[in-house]
Amino acid sequence: MGPFLADHVPSRLDWLCGVALVASAISFARLPTDLDPVAPPQRAIRGCKPRVEVPVVDTRKLVAVGPMLEAGSYRDVMRETVRAELVKSSPWRIELTDTPNGGFYVDGTVDEMTVSHVGNVTRVRCELKLWVRSSTTPISLLSGSASVDTTKGQRDIALSRQACVATVAEELVERLMVGDPWD
C-alpha cells in the first residue's frame, strides 16, 4: 500500500487536504435540509431524570423609580439620572415603573426653574424634590437646588437647564444613600 500511495499522491500535505475535503463534503451532505430553529426534544437517559431549567429569581430588594410626572419636560432627564445613580450606588434591583408595586418607590418633581440675565451671563436655577416611600408610607423627602451660569444662546440655556436638573438629582440620590432609608 505504501508504494501505491507514494506513486499516486504527490505529498503528504496534498493527501491530508484531500482527506479533509472528502470529510467536509460528507458532513455537508449529511446536514438536514430543513433547518428547524426548534431544538429536538431531549431523549431521557434511562435511570436519569430530565434536567429541569430553574428560572433565576432576583432576591434583591426592589427599588422602583417613578415616572417623575411633575418634573415637566425634564422628567426623562431626572428619571434617567436617578435610575443611573441608584444602579451605581445601591445593591438593590432598580426598575422603572409608573406605579408602585411593592418594595420602595422613588419619585420626584422639578419645583422651580428660573432663567435670569445678568450682564453677559445667563443664570439658570432649578429646585427639585425627591421622595421615597414603601408601599404606602412616606420614608424620606429631600429637596435641593443649584444654579448654572451660561451664555445667552438658546441652546446653551437648554443644555444648562438639563445639567442643573441632572446635577441636583445626582446630589439628592447621594444624600438619600447616606441616610440609607432601605433598612
pLDDT digits (tens, 9 = 90+) for 54-88: 777 766 778 889 999 888 889 999 999 999 999 88
Average pLDDT of the segment spanning 36-42: 57
Predicted local confidence at residue 1, as pLDDT: 43
51 vs 133: which has the higher pLDDT: 133
Closest by CA position to 171, among listed 142, 150, 147: 142
Q: How confident is the model at residue 15 (pLDDT cuts 50, 70, 90)?
A: low
* Cβ–Cβ < 8 Å for 106, 89: no
- The model's pTM is 0.64
Separation between Cα atoms, residue 84 and residue 19, nearest integer Å: 57
Tens-place pLDDT, residues 132-166: 888 677 788 899 999 999 999 999 999 999 999 99
| SS3 label, residue 105 | strand
The 3-state DSSP class for residue 124 equals: strand
- CATH fold of 62-179 reads Double Stranded RNA Binding Domain (3.30.160)
- Return the domain boundaries, the chain: 62-179
Apex 154 CA angle, 150 and 159, nearest 5 = 60
| DSSP at 72 | G
Amino acid in the structure at residue 160 = S
Q: What is the pLDDT of residue 24?
A: 58
